[in-house]
Chain A
Amino acid sequence: MTLLRTIDLAKHFVLDTDMRGRPTEVEKAVDGVDLTLAENEILGLVGESGCGKTTLARLLLRILRPTRGEVHLDGRRIDHLSERSLREIRPKLQAVFQDPSESLNPRFTIGESIGEGLRHLTDLSHDESRRRVHEGMERVGLPARIADHYPHQLSGGQRQRVGIARALVLRPRLVILDEPTSALDVSIQAQIINLLFDLKDENRLSYIFISHDLNLVRYVSDRIGVMVAGRIVEMGPTRDVVENPEHTETRTLLEAVARERVAGSAPGGPGRG
């Protein structure tokens, strides 16, 4: 079942105008993106920095209004909705960002941060919200006692769990994961990836997984889209894109990671030393 669909989605930023206010220089950050995402599916988005991945994510979340094109969620068109009508939609569309220390309010306790969305976007009672927050914390592996702690008292991995719990308590359908592990320590990354898989299976979530780490995207995603200069130049099942890249950009990205040898993964060849 299709959960999300975009048609010719675009966002152009006007960089300069002439004296009469007509645009003379336009940055086409996202320029004509058509994509579909099924329920319980993970779509990986890769591309070099500045290719428009994050702008696309913001359009899907309706943090930005598109210049043209359409976004449909669950068969309903959402790109033109007013802020008021969006209130119903927002819980279904959630995001987890790269740096958990920057996306958490340092003056909110962990419990307040996780419950903030519930306060603003739902009509749950205070007690009901608290119960949901505790449930969410337990689910992502955070001890209940840290609900009264502040972000600076947590480790990086714990903070990212808070970021995930905050999205999860709203019972979303789609979670956009924008480099969710790249600020984490190496030994913590695998824990978070596994947690994201578990949560997806339990709740039939769909993910859009944005990363510049092609190895990780390949591991995580069912399908991969490769973005270059605001457009998706290649999209398909992960295996097809990786084994049969059609676009030069995809090949360049693949070559960069292919030579990183790790045990058992490389077709041999002596190392240095």
Chain B
Amino acid sequence: MSLPNAQPENNASGAAAEEPRRILEVRNLSVEFYPGSTRAFHAVVDANFEIEAGKMVSVVGESGCGKTLSALALVGLTPPAARCRGTIVHGSRSFEASSSALARLRGRDVGMVFQEPMTALNPLFSLDRQFREVLRYLRGVEDRKEARDISTELLDRVGLDRPERRVNQFPHQLSGGQRQRAMIALALAGEPSLLIADEPTTALDATLERRVMELFRKLADEGLGVLMISHDLPLVADVSDRVVVMYSGYTVENGPAHQLVDAPQHPYTRGLVASASAIVLGDTPRLPVIPGEVPSPDRRPGGCPFHPRCPEKLDRCESEFPPESEPVAGVRTACWARGGDQ
């Protein structure tokens, strides 16, 4: 299963001199709901990941795994009932995860793109006017002509055809894919160094989905850091540099994208990849499955939350969550069966 002598990713460990600029570092991020009460539970436990300029990192997992909350926590957008802990380093500035100062990063340092572009755009205003508002607020652009030029340029950058005409249009005049591109352009208006995209293609067709993903890749190649949240491992693995796999609040694997699909380490990632590749190969009468159900975070089994569904379960999996290990260079995983006891 493993790739012999796989090239470790450039920045997998430590800081060396010639590295690209690190724009985000998340250390021991936890998100707890209703802290102190009897129904308290952790939706995210000890998440650790980092993003360099020019890199695209995807956080992948199923509903309730904590992927969206992890992203929202980066800009202080978690719901009021949640308490965040840990450290979030944006560029050279370090923040407590609970700090309200994180909100000030929105737009200027961190751009955000959400799932459904129709609910995020104002149906009553032309794109021009929506851009003007954002540009005035984030960049102090007062001049209409200037705002218009910048908007046209942004729309062009995200691959919208005839941007100088599109800029006059209203959201309902755009197709789903065009709307999502317009949203991405709007997220870029504050010239952020990091772009967070939460399932930006779920409302789109397979063909469009693909093209929008390629746009994010292009933006990363232009120097932006991109954090992609998705449930679709095969889709994002193809365009990402690194993939972080979450399961029920825990990070179970974090490695270079191609290694994650070619040689997955954690039994959960292996199960996902096995199902996906069996669908593509199509030569088995039935699909390999991960048995059982996805646990909800408030009724998570103890120890490693994946143990009731795991084909490689050991005794200690029921009682202790495994520490992170590096069974293959550059791949961090949390699994007792992968040398979690080193």
Contacts and interface: CB of A to CB of B under 8 A. Distances in A.
Interface of A: 48-49, 155-158, 185-191, 193-194, 197, 212-216, 218-219, 252-253, 256-257, 259-265, 270-273
B222 to A, nearest CB: 15
Given A259-B238, A262-B261, A49 B210 contact: no
Size range of the chain B interface in the assembly: 35 or more
Contacts of B9: 273
**A-B pairs with lowest CB-CB distance, top 8:** A271-B258, A273-B256, A185-B62, A190-B287, A262-B277, A265-B280, A190-B275, A187-B290
Contacts of B324: none
Given A158-B293, A187-B271, A263-B277, A219 B261 contact: no
Contact of B279 (A155, A188, A219, A271): A219
A264 B62 contact: no
A260 B234 contact: yes
Interface in B265-309: 268, 271-282, 285-291, 293-294, 296, 309
Interface in B300-330: 309
A273 B258 contact: yes
A212 B203 CA distance: 12
Interface string B227-242: 0000111110111111
Interface string B192-206: 000000000000011
B191 interface: no
Nearest to A48: B205
A187 B293 CA distance: 8
A262 B280 contact: yes
A186 B275 contact: yes
B186 interface: no
Interface in B71-110: none
Contacts of A253: 206-207
B185 to A, nearest CB: 23
B240 to A, nearest CB: 7
Contacts of B205: 48-49, 212
A259 B296 CA distance: 33
B273 A186 contact: no
9 contacts: A48-B207, A49-B176, A158-B293, A185-B231, A193-B287, A253-B206, A262-B277, A271-B258, A272-B239
Contacts of B279: 190, 215-216, 219
Nearest to B255: A273
B262 interface: yes
B288 A190 contact: yes
Contacts of B242: 273
Contacts of A272: 239-241, 256-258
A214 to B, nearest CB: 6
B62 A187 contact: yes
B68 interface: no
